[in-house]
């Protein structure tokens, strides 16, 4: 008999909306009848902050026995600390990273099946002394993973990025053959998580009109197209490059490869703003995430939406189930 799925939630920066969103989601589950939910949830957070948010945002109008139905894992050697919603701090930055570290320990030891992450704040983690840009880099470090890719999922798209958070002026020189191959291979391997045995993959060009035979840029001729051709010859069902302003309209493809951040995120957010999911490919664990940040501008106000967290949990569940089937 298969054991129940257990999904770990890391609640992110306490000064942001992660705790609020999680508590809203759990309250909705509770009133749906949490006993009928076909998966378990483990929270990686501080209990005292859960209590604070229940008091501050929910005015203590919250199911009193809900926490008794959940497993709450706190970081080691942590004392209570003060913080202000919407403000950066060393304590909040450190706490958010400690949640992630603890969750990775649990998933690698088989106590949970996947991690769903709530947002951290890049400035706060830097104040706390962490030399990582964000979640993805820290997760790669903790799991000793090298060839990782960011994938964004919406209702109609699965888009894997070659480069991520770079100024546009730096994108062309940052694109390498290895980065393109990594994105394509990670998309190909991700097919199993979505019950697609041999995914069909389209690669976006870097330049308008795919460079127009070199008239608007030569990256396609010199780098992207030869890499796609070579990867296709190595057995992956990949095609391109195609002009990015039209390829997303072709529903024949299971995955798309984008060259830079906005080339991927614009179609995703037009299609499913507030309900998209970020997936890290190339890790030895399953990790999904909400598509929004800490939202310091609305933190503590009780107005944050649970839609992206709901989707991130749904995607994690799908990936866990298909991984189990694939390994049986």
Q: Confirm or reject CATH 3.40.718.10 for domain 1-145+283-328, answering yes or no.
A: yes
Nearest to 40 by CA among 6, 89, 67: 6
Nearest to 153 by CA among 111, 128, 116: 116
The answer to whether the CB of 25 falls within 8 A of the CB of 309 is yes
The token pair at 199 is: 């995914």
Q: How many CB atoms lie within 10 A of CB 82?
A: 7
**pLDDT tens by residue, the chain, 328 residues:** 357 899 999 999 999 999 999 999 999 888 775 556 678 899 999 999 999 999 999 999 998 888 888 899 998 877 799 999 999 999 999 999 999 999 999 999 999 999 999 999 999 999 999 998 888 889 999 999 989 999 999 988 999 999 988 899 999 999 999 999 999 999 999 999 999 999 999 999 999 999 999 999 999 999 999 999 999 999 999 999 999 999 999 999 999 999 999 999 999 989 888 889 999 999 999 999 998 999 999 999 999 999 999 999 999 999 999 986 655 4
Query: What is the biggest distance separating any 2 CA atoms in the chain, rounded to whole angstroms?
Result: 66
Q: Confirm or reject CATH 1.10.10.10 for domain 147-278, answering yes or no.
A: no
The answer for residues whose C-beta is within 8 angstroms of residue 14's C-beta and 6 or more apart is 46, 49, 83, 92, 95, 96
Q: Where in the chain is the domain with CATH 3.40.718.10?
A: 1-145+283-328, 147-278
What pLDDT is stored for residue 33 in this prediction? 59
Structure confidence by residue, pLDDT tens digits, 148-206: 999 999 988 999 999 988 899 999 999 999 999 999 999 999 999 999 999 999 999 99
List, in sequence order, the alpha helices (H) in the chain.
18-33, 47-56, 90-108, 122-127, 135-143, 168-174, 177-190, 219, 225-233, 261-272, 307-327
The Cα–Cα gap between 325 and 328 comes to: 5
End-to-end C-alpha distance for the chain, whole angstroms: 13
Structure confidence by residue, pLDDT tens digits, 44-56: 999 999 999 999 9
What's the whole-model pTM score?
0.91
């Amino acid at each position: 008999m298969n054991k129940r799925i257990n999904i770990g939630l890391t609640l992110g920066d306490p000064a942001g909306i992660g705790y609020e969103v999680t508590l809203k989601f759990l309250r909705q589950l509770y009133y749906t009848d949490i006993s009928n939910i076909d998966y378990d949830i483990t929270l990686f957070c501080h209990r005292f902050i859960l209590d604070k948010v229940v008091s501050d945002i929910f005015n203590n109008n919250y199911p009193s026995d809900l926490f008794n139905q959940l497993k709450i894992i706190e970081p080691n050697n942590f004392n209570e600390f003060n913080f202000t919603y919407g403000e950066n701090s060393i304590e909040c930055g450190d706490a958010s990273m400690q949640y992630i570290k603890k969750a990775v320990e649990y998933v690698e030891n088989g106590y949970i099946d996947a991690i769903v992450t709530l947002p951290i704040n890049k400035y706060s983690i830097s104040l706390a002394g962490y030399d990582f840009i964000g979640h993805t880099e820290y997760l790669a470090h903790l799991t000793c993973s090298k060839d990782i890719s960011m994938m964004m999922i919406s209702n109609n798209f699965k888009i894997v990025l070659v480069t991520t958070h770079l100024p546009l002026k730096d994108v062309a020189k940052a694109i390498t053959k290895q980065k393109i191959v990594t994105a394509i291979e990670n998309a190909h391997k991700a097919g199993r998580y979505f019950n697609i045995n041999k995914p069909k993959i389209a690669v976006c060009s870097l330049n308008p009109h795919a460079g127009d035979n070199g008239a608007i840029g030569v990256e396609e001729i010199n780098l992207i197209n030869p890499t796609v051709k070579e990867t296709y010859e190595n057995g992956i069902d990949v095609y391109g490059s195609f002009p990015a302003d039209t390829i997303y309209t072709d529903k024949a493809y299971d995955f798309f490869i984008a060259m830079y951040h906005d080339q991927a995120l614009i179609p995703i957010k037009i299609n499913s703003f507030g309900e998209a999911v970020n997936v890290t490919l190339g890790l030895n664990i399953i990790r999904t995430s909400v598509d929004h940040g800490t939202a310091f501008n609305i933190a503590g106000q009780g107005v944050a939406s649970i839609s992206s967290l709901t989707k991130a949990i749904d995607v994690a569940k799908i990936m866990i189930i298909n991984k189990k089937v694939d390994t049986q």
